[in-house]
A and B are shown apart, each in its own frame.
Chain A
Amino acid sequence: MDTGANRQTCPKVRAKLDWYIDGELTTEGNIEVMEHVQHCTSCSREIAKSRELRTRLRAAVQKVSLPSGLESRLRDHLRHGIAQ
């Protein structure tokens, strides 16, 4: 449930949400965000949207097809380069 006191801490927590999702906060920082998010649907929604966006970005980059023969051309290049 969102309370008035909880909403007051939103800006402070929002500034740390990306670091929280990245796993870059200290234990203390993590606890602060987790405690806030348990009672704040708005920040919780923001975390879900950020995570979804990253998942979509990762999938979009990783699904790009690789050129056929990439690895064999690399091996040829290495053999040629090493022989020089």
Chain B
Amino acid sequence: MGMEVSQGLTDWTGAAYPPFGHAVSPESRDDRFEAEAMPHLNDLYRTALRMTGDRGHAEDLVQEVYLQAWRSFEHFEAGTNCRAWLYKILFHCVSHHRRKLFRFPLLKQNEEFLEVNLVQPPPSAEKITDEEILSALDAISSEFRAVVLLVDVEEFAYKEVAEILGVPIGTVMSRLSRGRGLLRKRLAEVARSYGIGKPSPRNGRL
């Protein structure tokens, strides 16, 4: 589907990637790739879709991820975290195609730094629909959305997210806090539109 394939991974990963680096025998490569990499296709596609907002781009991205993964799979050590490794490739591809995939990421991020409080209490999700939750998630800027997806949806540890995104763990924590704050703020607005969280006429409490 038109998106060019990046050449190899060694130019951007440094010594830590791929993890360790024992070569596997060619006979077992197909089977290992099938068993270790293929089961994560659906999760990767759904993450790619949330990052791009476009089904065609998401499919292009996962195809690119799997081709890159296949090409460097001989360096992938059995028993290490293949899922995290695939996500690392995915976010490298997202970053590589940033200009094509995101129109105004940086401006939006700066605006959001000004508008969000550090601690935003979670709203009640009782009457909020799945579509409204996705729409609130999609509306936050990509850097924050990525971390929220990786921690809250994919349940990666902070350390794994730092490795996947190639940022310090402190950056993960700060983006997560901002991202969740923005998500909660947007969902609180939706909840208020349903009358949840409005002051009660009787005692005036939230």
Contact of B49 among A22, A53, A64 (CB under 8 A): A64
Q: Which of A18, A62, A63 neighbours the largest number of chain B CB atoms within 10 Å of its CB?
A: A18
Q: Which of A15, A22, A53, A66 neighbours the largest number of chain B CB atoms within 10 Å of its CB?
A: A53
B156 and chain A: residue at smallest CB distance: A22
Contacts of A53 in B (CB 8 A): 122-123, 125, 184, 187
Main secondary structure of the interface of B (DSSP, over half): helix
* Given A57-B153, A70-B45, A52-B63 contact (CB < 8 Å): no
Main secondary structure of the interface of A (DSSP, over half): helix
Which of A1-9, A26-34, A75-83 makes up part of the contact surface?
Answer: A75-83
B62 and chain A: residue at smallest CB distance: A74
Write the nearest CB–CB distance from A68 to chain B, whole angstroms. Answer: 11
Contact B42 A66 (CB under 8 A): yes
What is the size, in residues, of chain A's interface with B at 8 Å between Cβ atoms? 32
- State which residues 46-69 of A face B: CB under 8 Å: 46, 49-50, 52-54, 56-64, 66-67
Binding site for A on B (CB under 8 A): 5, 38, 41-42, 45-47, 49-50, 55, 59, 62-63, 66-67, 70, 119, 121-125, 128, 130-131, 133-134, 137, 148-149, 151-153, 157-158, 173, 176-177, 180, 183-184, 187
